[in-house]
Structure 1
Amino acid sequence: MSDSDGYIYDPNGVNTPEKWNYMVEMRNSGRNKVKDYADKFGVEFFPGEKPWGRKVDIIMPCAMQNDIRIEHAEQIVANGIKYICEGANMPCTNEAVNYFQEKGLIVGPSKAANAGGVSVSALEMAQNSMRFSWTEEEVDAKLKQIMFNIHKNAMDAAEKYGFGYNLVAGANLAGFDKVAKAMMAQGDY
């Protein structure tokens, strides 16, 4: 986990309720410094460094555009990481994404993986325009269905056009197909 000041590495993972709840509370309270986590749980803090050279299970860049460049991509591949999930808007350069794909990593592209926030905003606008009020559980269920459909559409498009399980190509093709069909339905071709 990282922020603008550096990163922490927790060799035991952040998968206990205590750690997970602390991270959520830390972010929600405005104490957005991962060093606080390091201090509380006795893990090492690496000031001024990026985490991309660490051997971990999955990489999830969720903050800045173009944060992972080719030199980071080479470190990531060399460390045997197989999964990248882009949680920010284009956090990996095109060169890095292409390198990941050449090396067989599975990339959850930002246009698909990062669609949750935009989707919930659209659901909020729908509620407002219809004067509805959905519960948190209803919104969450709708969001889960939207995200499931995005993933399925990307997988189906990748397979249909001969790209196997390339979710980057699949998300691009599914998006293009949707826009093209809408334009044709409107006579804009």
Structure 2
Amino acid sequence: MKLRQTNQLDTGEGPSVSSEMLSTSWEDGSAAAYRFKTLSRQQDEVKSDVDATATRTDTGLSVKITKPRKATVELTGKILLPTEHLQRVIAAAKAGETVLEARVFDGSDDGVKVFDTLAVIGRAAKDEPGLPEAAKVALAGHTYHQTSVSYFEPGGSDQTPDYVMSFSLYDNGVIGALSIDYNDFVLRGRMEQFEPLKASAPCDK
């Protein structure tokens, strides 16, 4: 998956601050491996440049980092990878569950942080407003759940989350409207383009 996020923050008390985050990641279908590269800039100055690979072990995850420094970090316990976590949330929604707690690793904080997360899942709905026409056609008949996932510092789930992602999550994994609450400010996004991908042929490997 490739992601580019750009922000222009204007507090009204000085010059605006621009930031950019470029992320490339790949997750094995069985959640056994996760590769990720993340580059963050602020005012064109590199703030973070991470390149690492995480592999599943008997005790958790082993993370081999090549940037910003070469290191191997062992993370212990039951830890979900990003796509694996999303699949668990979808499964919980289909089962009628409204809450899911999980520890999630997504490569944050130089590739070593594991978040405690709390997903709150709303009721099933159809016909989300504001979708582009192509999405309306492709998602006709599919249900979605308004979902929010709070990301906490490890062991701090009784405190204010680092951030909260809220989104409409469809039963096939598509995400519609999205907001990210960083406590000091909120980013909101909506789907403007939708292009369904053709299913690939089964892999014999």
When normalised by structure 2's length, the TM-score is 0.23
Relative contact order, CA 8 A, sep 6+: which one is greater?
Answer: 1
Of Structure 1 and Structure 2, the greater helix share is in 1
TM-score w.r.t. the length of structure 1 is 0.25
Larger Rg: 1
